[in-house]
Amino acid sequence: MCGLRWVNIDLDNRVLWVEQQRQRSSAGTIDLALKTETSKAALPLPRQCIAPLRWTRMRTAMLRERALAKGRPWFEDPDQHVFISRTGHPLLASNLYLTMQRILRVAGLGKMNLKGLRKSCGTLLVHLKAHPRVIKAILRHSRIATTLDIYAEALDPDVIEAVSALDRLLRQPARIRSLEVARSQMETD
């Protein structure tokens, strides 16, 4: 989030490209290339993200105008990061975390970090029955095992539904036999 730049967002077509990540180092906070090329693929933006992003752009312009009008310091970010501080500097991860905690508190939710939001996204996509490869693409994992093992926790209703479906199948011995016959035919072909 902190490394996102305006050049990587197409609000009209609701697409975002993540092309770098922001990390802290001994030299300070720097933008680095992503781990894999597949991470750079276009990511569709949900419709509900467009208005807040437009508001963020207007807020940046307003903060800049206000600072310059009052003679306050303003950092002209040559990379045009989307999320900035009140002085124009790219937002630090620690500040993003504090902002996120305030939002979660106002919403009546418990503490969560950005990885928790990512895990929730994966879990909700599983609940919506999205194909694991689609979830992998959205979360930008290089291996599907990472997606399924770490982020895609099954929700209780899904577990109950799966057990109920298994129960219904077990009550139909003729259907089980037909599945076994179909499987053995596939193996011989």
Tokens at 168, concatenated: 């219904």
Q: Which of 89, 41, 97 is nearest to 63 (CA)?
A: 89
d(CA 117, CA 122): 9
Is the pTM higher than 0.85?
no
Task: Render pLDDT for 104-139 as a digit per residue (tens, 0 to 9).
Answer: 899 888 888 888 888 888 888 888 888 888 888 888
Neighbours of 19 (CB within 10 A): 15
Q: Is the pLDDT of residue 36 over 80?
A: no
Amino acid at 66: R
| Cα-Cα-Cα-Cα dihedral sign, residues 161, 164, 166, 168 | negative
Report helix, strand or coil for 29: strand
d(CA 2, CA 30): 10
Task: Render pLDDT for 41-99 as a digit per residue (tens, 0 to 9).
Answer: 788 888 989 999 999 999 999 999 999 999 999 999 999 999 999 999 998 888 888 98
